[in-house]
Structure 1
């Protein structure tokens, strides 16, 4: 069995000039496919192949800026096409707290909304109605041409909320089933949540389906890479009330803007725990290509090297099959595969409600219950659940966990044989005692039918 993935996203649209940066976010033509990837016809072929497999295509889109070698830089289509000019412009600031602080002056917000990213990428004047319309129409064209199912929106927080309100109003009208996820690179839930659709405490509703779950990203790095208490993860979950739809959040362990997870968290036992948490906590997890084989890499551009065997290297030198993977790569692949299989077979792990039952320095126990956040076609009858036990200890068997279930979401849910890991357990009245023999245990449970 292969790893079970439901969607893939990349940045094929907008032709790039390599002089604008290795990163692929320096567009020179908004209506051309990046030749590194191929042609529009090949992109359409990819979309059809994904859909035939029941998978989704997510396009990466960047309304915030273009590349420094875009023809517009020296020949603007209209006056005020950009915020500033090549000679005179602000440099982008990353202090997003200024955007939600009602007492912050415009002086402190302007560099965020009008500054040139990295002091080199021309900032589109999304305050201008003509520019705004152009960017909306460009996005509509890409969706129609490719049949894209969703968008990944780069540098979301750097664009004014009025633009996003109009952007989503038009897209939702034309493509009612389209979803999108916005990049708000910040560890504070009070900041990331303020950009979610339905939130108006910082201004007009952006209409965004969901932001990325950067708070969980930062917490997993701290817990599994720096040894902070496991309860740090529970503290992030405690802020879910700030999001209208926390079940939509997209947690991840790393991406193309961060050091590789296997480099930041070199301990393989800690990696196992982190992967288990990613694939059993609420939300739709994102797996950065290569993390499934524990690829390593530091900051840009070391975190964006080709997948082994990709492009010029050839599959015989790569990691596409078990026979060509190293033992370390295969171990990580198998762990992802095992957890993804369970996530697919146990609906509560994918879309059940989540409640933390115990959180300590080295353990985290929670239950996923029911299928409340599932799509209508995936929703199951009944209220079954899964206990997830994560324990960071040299000898998990030396530790016993006693959990009081009364007045919790797990009350009345009788556990059965673990489907992952090993543990002895017994239940007396409303107290559940678990003696895990492994660092990760998943115990399915069933509620009494009345």
Structure 2
């Protein structure tokens, strides 16, 4: 027995000696800092560093309580649950890390900042706005010095359509006056967080650090500068976020916290089946649903397991951190339906609880309005699922608009402009159709001018429709100068072509008009006129909507109106001039005598009929 006691004492001394000489590191603490006065008073810190879970953390700061420390499978992680009381003052405090003998072997200074404004004061994007969607790498190269950054895997190659071209945050800052002058009131910027992938890293959808702007785009401070300068020009910033997946080169991939940090973490690669219908299908198999939610997009995009509560909290806090840090006016959430659906409900609930007047638009890429409407806040779903998502991208209406404007569309009951009319009639499915984001195209689909086969008349009708229809409009950068991808259908590298004039030495400059064709200049002026007019028209921004079923599939009429203003929109898809009799619209034309076309400036007597120009829209202010 004495031998066992001696052996135990020896092992204890050995362990004490081991801990005394162990090298402990703190490589990361995320969130990197936080704020006092948040509505949710709990904060969970992820501490990462060599053998950090061997140590016992302690906190001594008035108002801050360390509730618990959570160890996971990897010894290099420690999660700290803190409670921050409402009375806590901003400031820095030390987190002490002690060994088994109670000796402090590491300390970390953590900061609580003072909030610049309360959550209720964060005003989200709304119907008064029009978004300008920007792919940063392809917009403007404002700082050529950051095109190539030592230590990052992919370097600049403007000759490669799938490579990095050098556009950056500084380029967007430099272009804010142009964006404001055009009439846009919000910018949705594709992701700019670090994407340290081997190839195709420019698009930003393979995040490798959720708290760091990619140095090839700039810095966190420049991102904040963009937000501040945009706000000074009454332009709102909308951040593109991804909760479904990260990049395969994310820093934690070399040392995952636990065996359930990712979906399908071990074994062969399992790709998502993209079967969105399985979400609502009453007959769907378990495996179909599992592969939809848990499967990876591609091998370089590991699918995050939001059912792990530590992962879930990490992602929620990261979102709130960026909203608070940047004073965001909104979020566009990528692939909204692909993560765990219960987590997405909790994510939106937590964000909207912290910022009640905020707005979030989710991407559910389906042309089936029953699938899209399922995710909107206020929808009473058959299975009891409760969502807190305010807005969605209106893919059903976009698809219908594209089909309606095709010249080859069959001129039958469901052909022509009747297609978009019938899709709009499905608005009864949505809890709030006026809070949907409507658009002619985006960064993932053919350019709108390509969709309408280079037909300027159809282009103008589509843009006029988007800018006067219910919802919140969004246009993609370059739409105003007829950018297209003719001959390259679905080619993202061509769809996301560099904006003309965004690089020194460009022969064509869309900012100044130098080198633009007559058609391009005319299109730019058309878009600018409508955008700036829309800024001051409350009827189009937030008024009621009444539309009339197309009697022939070439003419579609709808009205936007409130107590003070009334607008009549007429789309004439016919290749011929038409006479439009007005008696059918008497309900909304009562007391109206004059109409002035916002586009042409012409005035019309609204007594019996008006003459419509072939292949064009008309936006009439009624008096």
TM-score normalized with structure 1 length? 0.89
Greater mean deviation of Cα atoms: 173-182 or 218-227? 218-227
1:214-233 pair list within 5 angstroms: 214-225=395-406, 227-228=408-409, 229-233=416-420
In the alignment, does 2:434 pair up with 1:255?
A: no
1:314-393 pair list within 5 angstroms: 314=505, 317-359=508-550, 360-370=552-562, 382-393=563-574
Match among 373, 390, 394 for residue 193 of structure 1:
373
Whole-Å separation in 2 of the counterparts to 1:34 and 1:73: 18
In the alignment, does 2:479 pair up with 1:301?
A: no
Whole-Å separation in 2 of the counterparts to 1:13 and 1:426: 51
- 1:350 offset after TM fit, Å? 1.9
Cα distance change of structure 1 residues 129 and 352 upon mapping to structure 2, 3 Å threshold: same
Describe the superposition over 1:292-326 as per-residue Cα deviations: whole angstroms up to 9, x where unpaired.
Answer: 1111124212111221122x445774211134533
Q: Who is 1:289 aligned against?
A: 477
Match among 612, 617, 621 for residue 436 of structure 1:
612
User: Conserved in 1, the CA contact under 8 Å of 2:270 and 2:296?
Assistant: yes
User: Conserved in 2, the CA contact under 8 Å of 1:212 and 1:249?
Assistant: yes
Whole-Å separation in 1 of the counterparts to 2:498 and 2:422: 36
Q: Who is 2:229 aligned against?
A: 49
User: Conserved in 2, the CA contact under 8 Å of 1:424 and 1:436?
Assistant: no
Cα distance change of structure 1 residues 389 and 137 upon mapping to structure 2, 3 Å threshold: same
Cα distance change of structure 1 residues 413 and 28 upon mapping to structure 2, 3 Å threshold: farther
How many residue pairs get aligned? The number is: 427
Q: Who is 1:270 aligned against?
A: 458
Helix, strand or coil at the partner of 1:169: helix
User: Conserved in 1, the CA contact under 8 Å of 2:192 and 2:217?
Assistant: no
- 1:220 offset after TM fit, Å? 1.8
User: Conserved in 2, the CA contact under 8 Å of 1:418 and 1:441?
Assistant: no
Q: Who is 2:285 aligned against?
A: 105
Q: Who is 1:115 aligned against?
A: 295
TM-score normalized with structure 2 length? 0.65
- 1:399 offset after TM fit, Å? 3.5
**Structure 1 gap ranges (5+):** 371-381
Helix, strand or coil at the partner of 1:65: coil
Describe the superposition over 1:52-85 as per-residue Cα deviations: whole angstroms up to 9, x where unpaired.
Answer: 0111110000000011222333421222011012
In the alignment, does 2:296 pair up with 1:124?
A: no
1:72-87 pair list within 5 angstroms: 72-85=252-265, 87=267
Helix, strand or coil at the partner of 1:66: coil
**Structure 2 gap ranges (5+):** 1-179, 410-415
Whole-Å separation in 1 of the counterparts to 2:336 and 2:442: 16
- 1:331 offset after TM fit, Å? 1.3
User: Conserved in 2, the CA contact under 8 Å of 1:15 and 1:33?
Assistant: yes
Whole-Å separation in 2 of the counterparts to 1:203 and 1:79: 32
- 1:289 offset after TM fit, Å? 0.7
Q: Who is 1:133 aligned against?
A: 313
User: Conserved in 2, the CA contact under 8 Å of 1:20 and 1:67?
Assistant: no
